[in-house]
Amino acid sequence: MNLPVVTVSQLNLYIKKMFDSDLSFASVILSGEISNLSPHYRSGHLYFSLKDDTSAIKAVMFAREASRLRFQPENGMKVLAVGRVTVFERDGVYQLYVRELQPDGAGALAVAFEQLKKKLEARGLFDAAHKKPIPAYPKRIGVITSPNGAALQDILNIIRRRYPLCEVIVAGVTVQGNAAAEEIVEAIEAFNKRNLADVLIVGRGGGSAEDLWCFNDETLAYAIYNSRIPVISAVGHETDFTISDFVADLRAPTPSAAAELATPDIFELTHRVSSLENALFSAYGRVLSEKRAAFEKLAARRSFASAEGFFESDRRHIEELSRALCLHTETALRKESDRAADARRKLDKLTESLLNAQKLRFAKDVTALKKLNPLDVLLRGYAAVEKDGCVLSGAGDIAVGDTVQVLLRDGRLTCGVQGVQKGNINGTNAV
């Protein structure tokens, strides 16, 4: 029996072609458990095996696909792998080339979230002992969020209503997508480097898990942890939890709630001052009445009536003490009243300053809009030329024989073009 002699390479190539030509191997979904995981740190490729109770198959996931994973594969993790089966010619081994990899059961984002949470918790980033207190009366509040989001307006409105005495510094950042976490980190570091605020509010409005994912970034977690300025995390709605919430010094269920947690209520403060003022007046009045009653009781004794001269010096001393007490009481009451009045004046002045600033900003906006009004140019004697309903910007947009509309301040002219002169406004290169 004469059989052909083939090389090992020829045999492996033949078997590889058989695999590659069979469409049933072109795209398969395997369920199995990861084992022998060996990431290649230079190339970024992942090498591992998938196994079940009785069998195993080698698998590789190249760096381009591996870089898109939202979780960290681990030995013993049950996964669903999508890919193609082929033969690696050099070793004569068939294996699975993985395009997609998903945890079998929980989603990739959920697995990645729990992996990072477990890692940072073990390193102490969530410890209550590290969390800094939120200042009761902040002078400056830093807000790190999207400059165009509704969350920013909610925060600003609540701060202005509750505590208009503080200054708000806004750092506009991207709060969604690949670049978002880096921008938020840079904003936190800038606030700390220049000591721009007493407390920071970091967050955004609601969204899907993918929308909020930048707040689960490890680098951002360390930036919040290392911030010397206390950080309030305000991401999404009350039911949303991110890594930033666990690391922050205080977690707010919503951006609006963060604004309330960062500020005292000025109306409550005013009421408290008024209550203290009333209590002070009552206390001084009560002390004065008690001293006067004690004095009158002593003066009514028989010993004072029969030995008036003997006690004359003591009586004068008691009268002086009484006058001094009255004077001290009146002075203290007057000082407290002046303090309360001064606080009210400062509040009125601040309110008036904020209103004037808004008026000035409005006036500037109106002036800017008027400068952009094209009718003002026509009123100064200039004209605009239209062709087919479009304003012409240069001589290259028109040709001899065209019909154009010339717009003047009090009407328009319909004109035919007899000649076109190109170049600068002094007239060169006539056509």
Per-residue model confidence as pLDDT tens digits over 179-219: 999 999 999 999 999 999 999 999 998 888 778 889 988 89
Q: Kindly indicate the confidence band of residue 105, based on its pLDDT and cuts at 50, 70 and 90.
A: low
- Measured CA to CA, the distance from residue 375 to residue 387 in angstroms comes to 18
Residue 90 shares a structural domain with residue 141: no
pLDDT at 386: 83
pLDDT at 407: 81
Residues 82, 100 contacting (CB under 8 angstroms): yes
Looking at the domain assignment, is residue 366 inside a domain? no
193: domain CATH number is 3.40.50.2300
Residue 154 shares a structural domain with residue 236: yes
Task: Name residue 415's beta-bridge partners.
Answer: 404
Lowest mean pLDDT among 120-134, 221-235, 245-259, 366-380: 366-380
Average pLDDT over residues 236-257: 90
Residue 183 shares a structural domain with residue 291: no
Residue 237 shares a structural domain with residue 158: yes
Question: pLDDT by residue (tens digit) across 4-22?
Answer: 877 788 777 878 887 777 7
Global pTM value: 0.50
Residue 376 half-sphere exposure toward CB, CA atoms < 13 A: 7
84: domain CATH number is 2.40.50.140
DSSP three-state, residue 198: coil
pLDDT at 222: 95
Residues 256, 157 contacting (CB under 8 angstroms): no
Higher pLDDT, 325 or 108: 325
Q: Kindly indicate the confidence band of residue 346, based on its pLDDT and cuts at 50, 70 and 90.
A: confident
Looking at the domain assignment, is residue 118 inside a domain? no
State yes or no: pLDDT of 426 exceeds 60: no
- Measured CA to CA, the distance from residue 26 to residue 323 in angstroms comes to 105
Average pLDDT over residues 22-51: 81
Higher pLDDT, 26 or 153: 153
Looking at the domain assignment, is residue 246 inside a domain? yes
Higher pLDDT, 210 or 107: 210
Residue 100 shares a structural domain with residue 16: yes
Question: pLDDT by residue (tens digit) across 130-175?
Answer: 999 999 999 999 999 999 988 999 999 999 999 999 999 999 999 9
* Amino acid sitting at position 208: S
- Range 321-330, long-range pairs (CB < 8 A, 24+ positions): 322/291, 322/292, 322/295, 325/287, 325/288, 325/291, 326/288, 329/284, 329/287, 329/288
Which stretches of 172-311 are DSSP H helices? 180-194, 218-226, 243-247, 255-262, 266-299, 302-306
Q: How far is CA 424 from the centre of its chain?
A: 51
Looking at the domain assignment, is residue 42 inside a domain? yes
State yes or no: pLDDT of 406 exceeds 70: yes
Residue 309 shares a structural domain with residue 425: no
pLDDT at 429: 44
Task: Measure Cα distances from 247 to 110, 178, 219 in Å.
Answer: 18, 21, 12
Boundary of a domain, candidates 306, 339, 361: 361
Residues 17, 10 contacting (CB under 8 angstroms): no
- In this structure, how many other beta carbons lie within 10 angstroms of the beta carbon of residue 45? 16
Higher pLDDT, 367 or 129: 129
Of 413, 380, 416, the closest CA to residue 401 belongs to 416
State yes or no: pLDDT of 267 exceeds 70: yes
Q: Kindly indicate the confidence band of residue 311, based on its pLDDT and cuts at 50, 70 and 90.
A: low
DSSP three-state, residue 95: strand
Residue 131 shares a structural domain with residue 216: yes
Q: Kindly indicate the confidence band of residue 428, based on its pLDDT and cuts at 50, 70 and 90.
A: very low
Residue 149 shares a structural domain with residue 247: yes
Looking at the domain assignment, is residue 110 inside a domain? no
Boundary of a domain, candidates 262, 289, 317: 262
How do the residues of the chain divide into helix, strand and coil, expressed in percent and rounded to 5?
45, 20, 30
Question: pLDDT by residue (tens digit) across 269-299?
Answer: 888 888 888 888 888 888 888 888 887 777 7
- Measured CA to CA, the distance from residue 204 to residue 171 in angstroms comes to 12
Angle between helices 108-122 and 218-226 (to 10 degrees): 30
Q: Kindly indicate the confidence band of residue 364, based on its pLDDT and cuts at 50, 70 and 90.
A: confident
* Amino acid sitting at position 200: L
pLDDT at 430: 40
State yes or no: pLDDT of 309 exceeds 70: no
Looking at the domain assignment, is residue 1 inside a domain? no
Task: Measure Cα distances from 27 to 96, 119, 228, 420 in Å.
Answer: 10, 35, 52, 66
Boundary of a domain, candidates 219, 245, 262: 262
Looking at the domain assignment, is residue 116 inside a domain? no
Q: What percentage of the chain reaches a pLDDT higher than 70? A: 92
Average pLDDT over residues 234-244: 87
Domain that holds residue 222: 127-262
pLDDT at 423: 67
- Measured CA to CA, the distance from residue 141 to residue 199 in angstroms comes to 5
Residue 233 shares a structural domain with residue 189: yes
Looking at the domain assignment, is residue 288 inside a domain? yes
Residue 35 shares a structural domain with residue 52: yes
pLDDT at 306: 59
Residue 81 shares a structural domain with residue 134: no
Count the domains in the chain.
4
Q: Kindly indicate the confidence band of residue 308, based on its pLDDT and cuts at 50, 70 and 90.
A: low
Residues 326, 288 contacting (CB under 8 angstroms): yes
- Measured CA to CA, the distance from residue 421 to residue 431 in angstroms comes to 6
Higher pLDDT, 387 or 120: 120
| Mean per-residue pLDDT over the chain, rounded | 83
Residue 278 shares a structural domain with residue 350: yes
